[in-house]
Amino acid sequence: MIITKEQFKKDFEKKMLKLYAQEVEDSTVHMQYFTLGYLMKEYISEGWARTTNRYTKYGEKQVYYFSIEFLLGRLLASNLLNLGIRNTVSDALKDMGLSLKEIEDVEVDPGLGNGGLGRLAACFMDSMASSGIPGNGNGIRYKYGLFQQKIVDGYQVELPENWLRDDNVWEIRKSDKAVKVRFYGDAWMKPKEDGSLEPIHTDFQEVLAVPYDTALVGYENKTVNTLRLWNAEVPNYTDDIQGELNFNKVLLNKREIESISEVLYPDDSHHDGRVLRLKQEYFFVSAGLQSIVAQHKDSGHSLSELHNYVAVHINDTHPAVAIPELMRILMDEEGMEWAEAWHITQNTMSYTNHTIMSEALEKWQIDLFKELLPRIYLIIGEIDRRFREILSSKFGEDQNQIEKMAIISGGYVRMAHLCIHGSHSVNGVAKLHTELLKSQELRDFYMLYPYKFNNKTNGITHRRWLMLANPELSNLLDETIGNSWRRNPQDLKLFKKYKRDPEIQKKVEQIKKNNKEKLAAYIKEKNGIIVDPNSIFDVHVKRLHAYKRQLLNALHILHQYHEILENPNFEMLPKTYIFAAKAAPGYYFAKEIIKFINALAEQINNDPRVKDRIKIVFLENYSVTLAEQIIPASEVSEQISTTTKEASGTSNMKFMMNGAVTLATLDGANVEILEEVGHPNIVIFGMTEKEVLNYYRNGGYNSREIYESDARVKRVLDSLTNGFIKGIQVEGQDIFKNLIDYNDEFFVLKDFDSYVAAQKKMEDLYRDRFTWNKMSIENISSSGVFSSDVTVMQYASGIWDTRIIER
């Protein structure tokens, strides 16, 4: 949009007066935030209405991205950026004596996700709007986002994150679009006179799903898409009295019902088998589909054409019940026959798998499922029966094979199998991950449905992760290669030609230094630790999980510590190791690793013999906002998961785009980062995929042998248990046990040697400033393909079959 400074000032003053009966000069920064936020919403609303109308009027096929998590991050800055008025607003505010930065800092970061999966959904939303793809998000409006993490005495403490305590300026409650979702009761098929069967569902509990819509503003285009998050509420029983409901029962129900949209499950890989989680899943899926079908009918299209107008994307298995739910709506409510309903459902649905970690592949006990969702269970039963017929025709009498692939088997409903059978497309999130799905985890399904499988490597929005997070680098890019990269991120490759340019190298180095200084100030303020901005900032930030191997990193630091103590003149470049990670509250081992890192930090940071050669910082409460501060200040990007375990990773792409050099195993999208930057510009170590698979398949790994034969490993591990590191009696023992007695499931010790060498190599590269800066520039300029704009275009053409309305 176009607005002058003067006009904005007038609007802002007027808005402030209206909202708070206050003049700008007497306002608090809190008031300024809400004034600006509500004003932005007004600015956005016209384009929003226009976009929605345009989609309906021209019968555009729309994508609905169903996800149990959306980790959006703060919206004020990104909305201002995408509207194209951030500079104007910033200048105008400055004229009024206000600071945009301070105002932006008032916004609460809505943590409606755990990690990569939720953040990917948010990047996709930004990219769909910015690429002119008619795309909507559909999810849950959790009252409490992911817990706030405090570190107390080295331990993680979890506090509730009440992000809605103030108004959320971005959402619009749409009570008139509320729908009802049914749980429990009895469901059966009643024979009718003509011999056909009629589905009956009685004695159910009804929950009102109320949508809250948030605008998703495209970057300097005319598109404003919608994110719809559902809130669970008690229906108004006076409209619809069911049986013997009485007041007390209503109150009791209220607690139970409202809990559906109360908390986000703080776990992205272990699934918690509680009923509430399945309730959440059905809740937002049913509400979303009901509103999609209603809208489709409103616009006058026939339901038999639904799949030509609607694509529903199932983000991991959490929304898998979308498949039977759409069947239910089409059959029970719209009177369609099975065959047609199935054809439409399969052609509407597509599914992304985000992990091969088996504990995250959802399956539900039949009893639990049937009790909570009796009608849906009947439909899945029929889907399974028909699927088994297909399998029989293929595998004949091979019952084992049939059971292995069935949807309902062994007392469970398997959601991934349901997704694959019920969708027309199944994709992995990086080349290696997709290959592993095809050759290992989902091999049988790949043999059955080879045409459904495809790869869509993840991406990140360069608007948030470069333009907003790193304005200085963005300006340098504009000055050197012009600003076309902002719209076409692949143009970042134009920057490559400056890789040997001493002046540009110096500038890139200086920008990194400035960002490091800012982070150092933050660290000092938060942790009271003084870090040297001239030291190497080596950064490991992501969810805490054993397979991500924060432990390997920490053990290496401990090793370096021993080296220094043994040889006081030990040569090394000063290093600042930065960690940030939340551990799922029930994930005991992950929490022990946090304690270990903090104990190590406490000891090393305060040991005068180290002479500041090593500093360790654990920043609490990792979030999108914190990531935006850390990543632009990073030099070494730790991507050291056990090969085969990280489906893709996305922070690896963010670091690269900000000029950090990746220290990586050949896992997930690291493989593709290597393809883009080439061997000289990345440091690779560790076991190959083949070695890992071979060990998992055939055994033969013995971590104790390494402990006994490698003196460095022995020294490090012994110091976990012999009191050398203070304050980790329990944790030290447990980590030792995990690595030695339980044979080190994630090959930490197996990769130790090559990790030490890789760290050394990084340091040598860093010493040579010309080489390092060149590497940094190579990374920045090769990162464009990892923009999620590129990814969503591939989804649009390869999976959703949606038109790109504008670019």
Active-site residue numbers?
354, 542-543, 548, 650, 654
- Pair 83, 130: CB distance under 8 Å: no
Cα separation, 450 vs 438, in Å, equals: 9
Of the pair 116, 324, the CB lying nearest ligand NBG is at: 116
- Pair 590, 545: CB distance under 8 Å: yes
Q: How many CB atoms lie within 10 A of CB 146?
A: 30
Planar angle of CA 11, 14, 20, nearest 5 degrees = 130
Scanning 18-26, 130-138, 643-651, 703-711 for contacts with ligand NBG by CB under 6 A, the matching segment is 643-651
Which of 88, 474, 623, 650 is in the footprint of ligand NBG by CB under 6 A? 650
Which of 129, 360, 593, 758 is in the footprint of ligand NBG by CB under 6 A? 360
Virtual torsion, Cα 288, 291, 296, 299, nearest 10 deg:
-140
Of the pair 133, 429, the CB lying nearest ligand NBG is at: 429
- Please report how close the Cβ of residue 646 comes to ligand NBG at its closest, in angstroms: 5
Residue 528 pairs with which residues in a beta bridge? none
- Pair 348, 326: CB distance under 8 Å: yes
Question: Which residues ranging from 188 to 247 are in contact with ligand NBG (CB under 6 A)?
Answer: none
Q: By CB under 6 A, tell whether 316 contacts ligand NBG.
A: yes
- Please report how close the Cβ of residue 115 comes to ligand NBG at its closest, in angstroms: 6
Residues ≥6 apart with Cβ < 8 Å to 307: 344, 347, 348
Question: Which residues ranging from 392 to 431 are in contact with ligand NBG (CB under 6 A)?
Answer: 429
Residue 225 pairs with which residues in a beta bridge? 216
DSSP 63-104: EEEE-S-B-----HHHHHHHHT-HHHHHHHHHHTT--HHHHH
Scanning 51-59, 491-499, 610-618, 642-650 for contacts with ligand NBG by CB under 6 A, the matching segment is 642-650
| Closest residue to ligand NBG: CB criterion | 116
Of the pair 41, 433, the CB lying nearest ligand NBG is at: 433
Which of 458, 605, 681, 783 is in the footprint of ligand NBG by CB under 6 A? 458
Please work out the total of residues on this chain that contact ligand NBG, with binding judged by CB under 6 A: 18
Q: By CB under 6 A, tell whether 676 contacts ligand NBG.
A: no
Virtual torsion, Cα 41, 46, 52, 58, nearest 10 deg:
-160
- Please report how close the Cβ of residue 381 comes to ligand NBG at its closest, in angstroms: 27
- Give the per-residue SS3 of 209-224: EEEEEEEEECCCCCCE
Looking at residue 783, the DSSP 8-state letter turns out to be: G
Looking at residue 745, the DSSP 8-state letter turns out to be: T
- Please report how close the Cβ of residue 194 comes to ligand NBG at its closest, in angstroms: 47
Residue 148 pairs with which residues in a beta bridge? 159
Taking residues 104 to 143 in sequence order and writing x for each that binds ligand NBG by CB under 6 A, - otherwise, the string is: -----------xxx--x-----------------------
Q: By CB under 6 A, tell whether 461 contacts ligand NBG.
A: no
Q: Of 577, 601, 581, whose CA–CA distance to 589 is shortest? A: 581
Q: By CB under 6 A, tell whether 765 contacts ligand NBG.
A: no
Helix axes 788-795, 116-130, angle to 10 degrees: 80
Q: By CB under 6 A, tell whether 384 contacts ligand NBG.
A: no
- Please report how close the Cβ of residue 362 comes to ligand NBG at its closest, in angstroms: 10
- Please report how close the Cβ of residue 355 comes to ligand NBG at its closest, in angstroms: 4
Q: By CB under 6 A, tell whether 647 contacts ligand NBG.
A: yes
Q: By CB under 6 A, tell whether 354 contacts ligand NBG.
A: yes
- Please report how close the Cβ of residue 354 comes to ligand NBG at its closest, in angstroms: 4
Q: By CB under 6 A, tell whether 652 contacts ligand NBG.
A: no
Cα separation, 625 vs 109, in Å, equals: 7
Which of 213, 267, 384, 646 is in the footprint of ligand NBG by CB under 6 A? 646
Q: By CB under 6 A, tell whether 665 contacts ligand NBG.
A: no
Of the pair 511, 647, the CB lying nearest ligand NBG is at: 647
Of the pair 268, 638, the CB lying nearest ligand NBG is at: 268
Which of 104, 161, 206, 268 is in the footprint of ligand NBG by CB under 6 A? 268
Of the pair 553, 648, the CB lying nearest ligand NBG is at: 648
β-pairing verdict for 197-202 and 155-161? unpaired
Looking at residue 621, the DSSP 8-state letter turns out to be: S
Cα separation, 368 vs 330, in Å, equals: 25
Q: Of 430, 273, 426, 427, whose CA–CA distance to 360 is shortest? A: 273
Question: Which residues ranging from 428 to 447 are in contact with ligand NBG (CB under 6 A)?
Answer: 429
- Torsion sign across C-alpha atoms 28, 30, 35, 37: positive
- Please report how close the Cβ of residue 274 comes to ligand NBG at its closest, in angstroms: 18
Q: By CB under 6 A, tell whether 799 contacts ligand NBG.
A: no
- Please report how close the Cβ of residue 777 comes to ligand NBG at its closest, in angstroms: 25
Of the pair 117, 780, the CB lying nearest ligand NBG is at: 117
Cα separation, 249 vs 256, in Å, equals: 11
Of the pair 557, 671, the CB lying nearest ligand NBG is at: 671
Which of 149, 168, 225, 269 is in the footprint of ligand NBG by CB under 6 A? 269
Of the pair 113, 374, the CB lying nearest ligand NBG is at: 113
Extract the tokens encoding 781: 């300029």
CA distances 593 to 271, 546, 554, 576, 641, Å, are 21, 9, 9, 19, 15
SS3 224: strand
Q: Of 18, 16, 20, whose CA–CA distance to 35 is shortest? A: 16
Of the pair 357, 366, the CB lying nearest ligand NBG is at: 357
Q: Of 239, 318, 312, whose CA–CA distance to 272 is shortest? A: 318
Of the pair 553, 703, the CB lying nearest ligand NBG is at: 553
Planar angle of CA 803, 805, 807, nearest 5 degrees = 120
Q: Which residues bind ligand NBG (CB under 6 A)?
A: 115-117, 120, 268-269, 316, 354-355, 360, 429, 458, 646-650, 668
